[in-house]
């Protein structure tokens, strides 16, 4: 999934078409992922999980921020993908 990153939102794209976004903020080295939204036409396609996994990969590869999943879906994805658990404690 391709990502477009701005100051407070990361938008996920499949083949150039937006599928959803994750709203976040960063304070004192902690990235709080507040809200995940998937477009209605993309729901129940795995797009939400793919989006959150891509966002977690982006934070892992491009920052040293600790992740706090305020959005209840983020901890669910981290539990399903334990390779991202370290992001919650760094």
**Tally of domains in the chain:** 1
pLDDT tens, the chain, 90 aa long: 999 999 999 999 999 999 999 999 999 999 999 999 999 999 999 999 999 999 999 999 999 999 999 999 999 999 999 999 999 999
Give the integer Cα–Cα distance in Å for 47 and 39: 9
The reply to whether the predicted model has a pTM over 0.85 is: yes
Return the structure tokens found at 17: 């078409």
The dihedral sign for the CA sequence 86, 67, 62, 82? positive
Q: Which structural domain range is residue 11 located in?
A: 2-88
């Amino acid at each position: 999934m391709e990502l477009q990153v701005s100051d407070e939102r990361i938008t996920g794209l499949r083949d150039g078409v937006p599928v959803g976004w994750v709203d976040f903020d960063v304070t004192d080295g902690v990235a709080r992922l507040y809200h995940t939204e998937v477009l209605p036409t993309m729901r129940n396609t795995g797009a939400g999980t793919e989006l959150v996994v891509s966002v977690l990969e982006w934070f892992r590869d491009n920052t040293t921020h600790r992740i706090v999943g305020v959005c209840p879906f983020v901890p669910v994805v981290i539990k399903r993908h334990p390779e991202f658990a370290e992001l919650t404690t760094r």
